[in-house]
Amino acid sequence: MNDVIKITQDLIRCPSVTPKDEGAQELLAALLSDAGFECHHLPFGEGEERVPNLFARIGASGPHICYAGHTDVVPPGDESKWTYGPFNPEIKDGILYGRGASDMKGSVAAFAAGAIAHVNKNGAPENGSISLLITGDEEGVAINGTAKVLEWMDENGHIPDVSIVGEPSNPDQLGDELKIGRRGSLTCVVEVRGRQGHVAYPERADNPMPRLARVAAALSDYEFDTGNAYFPPTNLEITSIDVGNPTENVIPNAGTIHFNIRFNDIWDSDGLVAKLHEIIAGLSDDYQLDTRCGAVSFLTQPGAWSDVVSSAVEEITGRKPELSTKGGTSDARFIQAYSPVVEFGPINNSIHQIDEHAKVEDLENLTVIYERIIELYLAQ
Ligand SMILES: [Zn+2]
């Protein structure tokens, strides 16, 4: 059996700080090729922006289950603060330490080991396919990673019927949460304008500051919705209010409010932008609103696919995972446009930290869970 811990350790030894790979995907491709997977190396981007990606598939027909993950990691920070060093995977008291142990080389190793175990027991699937979509660009700008691989998969007949992202989804224990969607993110800046002038001659100026304050209050107070069964309410947070006025006797020309909205599936970004214009235009004639949608919101309706994953998790851990949409964005935001996608992976309490770690037992159980998911899904 391919040992999940050995694979994780081998991957951690590759210092694949985004967007570097340092042999991580080559190592994975070698393992998968040996088990009969057809591997495609799919680098996208030029020069400094070149990102390594790997797509591996076994089986030619549907139903097709795809695992998505990344082999890049965030920088280690001050390496001298690590107990064993970030790229020196050590096990102490049943805990494996190293950058990527949880986010998410341990997860990638668990799925690879689980899928290989399934193939070793059952042979290559005759009716069905198993694939892995591995990017080196998840922790970076995410331009030349999953989004581009999906386009390639679409052009080459590799779009899966269901997908699972192996990001660390569990807050404390394996089996806590199964993510079935994510909120969207809209980053905005509004400039409220007036006319500059001398504080002693306010009739010749138009001070935008009171309007700026009213706009800030109105944005912050607005109740977009009250949430629904799977999502918390849409929330707007002001991150900065700036005037940049160094003087005490000049009425400023304009001021800006920076804010971010995390929105549920009741809204899309166009609808939100229209609502923002309505709120702001009601208080200020002269303004400019700029927005950037970092992620759309999505929900994979609970049903056949989430049931398969949920029952495999419950079988192995004895815990029924809560269906959740909490947390930041992941590459599931790209995958949701092509197939139903859920997220289940390691514990996230040490990710991006010094001494990132994962319990050996959890990675072993995760391997069995992924193998069971494959088994249950392909048996349908
Ligand atoms: Zn991650």
Domain end among 240, 274, 295: 295
pLDDT > 50? residue 111: yes
Under the banding of pLDDT at 50, 70 and 90, the label for residue 327 is: confident
Say whether pLDDT at 224 is over 70.
Answer: yes
pLDDT at 328: 78
Q: What is the mean pLDDT of residues 329-335?
A: 90
Mean pLDDT value across residues 226-246: 95
- CA-CA-CA-CA torsion sign (372, 336, 296, 100): positive
Identify whether residues 141 and 122 lie together within a single domain.
Answer: yes
Same domain? 204 vs 239: yes
Say how many Å lie between the CA of residue 164 and the centre of ligand 1: 13
Q: Are residues 137 and 268 in the same domain?
A: no
Do residue 22 and residue 122 come from a single domain?
yes
Q: Within this chain, do residues 106 and 68 fall inside the same structural domain, yes or no?
A: yes
Mean pLDDT for 316-320 is 97
Q: What is the 3-state secondary structure (H, E, C) of the chain?
A: CCCHHHHHHHHHCCCCECCCCCCHHHHHHHHHHHCCCEEEECCECCHHHCECEEEEEECCCCCEEEEEEECCECCCCCHHHCCCCCCCCEEECCEEECCCCCCCHHHHHHHHHHHHHHHHHHCCCCCCEEEEEEECCCCCCCCCCHHHHHHHHHHCCCCCCEEEECCCCECCCCCCEEECEECEEEEEEEEEECECEECCCHHHCECCHHHHHHHHHHHHHCCCCCCCCCCCCCEEEEEEEECCCCCCCEECCEEEEEEEEEECCCCCHHHHHHHHHHHHHCCCCCEEEEEEEEECCEECCCCHHHHHHHHHHHHHHCCCCEEECCCCCCCHHHHCCCCCEEECCCECCCCCCCCCEEEHHHHHHHHHHHHHHHHHHHHC
CA–CA gap between residue 340 and residue 323 (Å, rounded): 14
Count of structural domains within the chain: 2
Residues 202 and 322 in one domain: no
pLDDT band with cut points at 50, 70 and 90 for residue 1 = very low
Contact 330, 68 (CB under 8 A): no
- pLDDT tens for each residue of 171-183: 999 999 999 999 9
- Is residue 104 pLDDT above 50, yes or no? yes
Average of pLDDT values for 115-139? 94
Asked if 57 and 130 sit in the same domain, the reply is yes
The pLDDT-based confidence of 141 (bands split at 50, 70, 90) is: confident
Q: Is the pLDDT of residue 315 over 50?
A: yes
Tell me the mean pLDDT in the region 307-329.
94
Domain boundary pick from 242, 266, 295: 295
In CATH, what number is assigned to the domain containing residue 64? 3.40.630.10
CATH for 210: 3.30.70.360
1 Cα–ligand 1 center, Å: 26
Residue 241 confidence (pLDDT) above 90: yes
What pLDDT sits at residue 48? 82
Alpha-carbon gap, residue 289 to 110, rounded angstroms: 45
The mean per-residue pLDDT over the stretch 269-288 comes to: 97
Residues 305 and 229 in one domain: no
Give pLDDT, residue 326. 87
Quick one: 20 and 169 in the same domain? yes
| Residue ranges with CB less than 5 Å from ion ligand 1 | 103-104, 167
User: Mean pLDDT score of the chain, rounded to an integer?
Assistant: 96
Query: Annotated catalytic sites, by residue?
Result: 72, 138
* pLDDT above 80 for 95: yes
Which letter, b or e, does each residue of 187-197 get, where b requires 16 or more Cβ atoms within 10 Å of its Cβ? Answer: ebbbbbbbebb
β 177-179/322-324 pair status? parallel
d(CA 133, CA 67): 6
Q: Indicate if 212 and 287 belong to the same structural domain.
A: yes
- Boundary residue ending a domain (277, 295, 313): 295
Summarize the confidence of residues 78-102 as an average pLDDT: 97
Residues in the chain: 380
- 50 and 28 in a common domain: yes
> Among 50-54, 162-166, 328-332, whose mean pLDDT is lowest?
328-332
Q: What is the whole-number distance in angstroms between the Cα of residue 168 and the centre of ligand 1?
A: 7
The pLDDT, as a whole number, for residue 47 is 87
227, β-bridge pairs: none
Task: Dump pLDDT digits (tens) for 10-54.
Answer: 999 999 999 899 999 999 999 999 999 999 999 999 988 899 999
Ligand 1 mean position, distance from CA 214 (Å) = 39
pLDDT at 166 over 60: yes
Report whether pLDDT(8) > 50: yes
Pair 276, 310 in one domain: no
The pLDDT assigned to 2 comes to: 58
Separation of alpha carbons 251 and 269, rounded Å: 34
What Å distances lie between residue 376 and 113, 119, 237, 312, CA to CA? Answer: 17, 14, 42, 8
Residue 99, both tokens: 């950058």
Range of the domain at 254: 184-295
- Mean pLDDT over 136-152 rounds to 88
Q: Is residue 240 scored above 60 in pLDDT?
A: yes
Please give the distance, rounded to the nearest whole angstrom, from the Cα atom of residue 7 to the centre of ligand 1: 17
